[in-house]
Amino acid sequence: MKVILKIIYNFICKIIIKLLPLLRILRLQTFVINHLTEIRHRLNRYGNIQKVISELPLKRKLIALDVGAQGGFNTGHLFLKKYEKFFNPIMVEPIPSEAEKLKKKYTVIDKGLWSTNCVKKLYLTGKNPGGTSMYKPWKEGFDLYNPYDNYFRFYDITNEIDVECTTIKDSLDNLNIKELDYLKIDTQGSEYEILKGIGNYFPLLMKIEVQIFTLYKDMPNWTEVLNYIYKLDYMLCSWEKIGAHMTQSPVEMDMFFVPNFLTEKGKKLILSRENEFAFLMLIFGQVRLLQTISKKLEFKLNSNISKIRDKFFY
């Protein structure tokens, strides 16, 4: 079966290569490649994971901290909507008007997050609310993103507000949260400072936005973010590029991290919440890695997990 699939795959690749000049003429080449990559990343989120998920005895809802929560939980549909009911989302939104909208549905931390308790300036970009940051947009950094249509105008600062900031640790302590399962940080450059305030809350899965080439003045280098996460005993398991860019590798990405199962700290963390970890890995499509970790750490449902077909690698 694998041989047949490989032959079909190679045949399709040859057809696509032949069609690339035509696609270029039609300005569809990049569009097609990007969407094929996106489809491949999402294949494992459908199909035969449901049976294993139904067998996971989750005794509570998973605690999710969404930092940069404008728009609501699970924006971008990182996992299927039907799994949202398994989460208890806590939203972080320091802009008062946006925080009020979220409070109608979620638990909201209406402060900014940082490495210490302090007051920071927040620079609002009204034409593009998603560009709002604790750092000022940096015009010289935009050429690698989109130099052809005055892209920087969407990052004009339309207002500046002083924001009271706290830390992840203090925020969750105040809410009497004991464990954090899923952490998402999308804060346009503040990820490093926010992670430094994590305290003893160690998520089972983290989604962190990282800018390889900065859009903001004086923000930390992306390697500082990665080094800090690695020191916490996490490993990178996936990345997905964001937006257009002028290089042959992404200049901005969503990176996904899980505890490093090869260290004692990472192993202990995974085993302390084995079922919650398996659930997150399945709904985010990390089947093959879950199977490796499940076998090595001898998960109770290892026999069932080992039977799942990983569509990403086929």
Domains of the chain, each with CATH number or no CATH = 1-45 (no CATH), 48-305 (3.40.50.150)
What's the confidence (pLDDT) of residue 20?
Answer: 65
What's the confidence (pLDDT) of residue 137?
Answer: 93
With beta carbons less than 8 A apart as the criterion, state whether 259 and 269 touch: yes
Residues of the chain with pLDDT > 90: what percent?
59
Residues of the chain with pLDDT > 70: what percent?
87
With beta carbons less than 8 A apart as the criterion, state whether 308 and 287 touch: yes
User: pLDDT, tens digit, for every residue of 240-297?
Assistant: 888 777 888 888 999 999 999 999 999 999 999 999 999 999 999 899 999 999 999 9
With beta carbons less than 8 A apart as the criterion, state whether 216 and 137 touch: yes
With beta carbons less than 8 A apart as the criterion, state whether 308 and 49 touch: yes
Burial class (CB in 10 A: 0-12, 13-18, 19+), 105: exposed
User: pLDDT, tens digit, for every residue of 216-227?
Assistant: 999 999 999 999
What's the confidence (pLDDT) of residue 77?
Answer: 79
Work out the average pLDDT over 56-84: 88
pLDDT band at 144 (very low <50, low <70, confident <90, very high): confident
User: pLDDT, tens digit, for every residue of 161-177?
Assistant: 999 999 999 999 999 99
Token digits of residue 161: 């507000």
**What beta strand segments (E) does 44-174 contain?**
62-67, 87-92, 107-109, 112-113, 118-124, 159-166
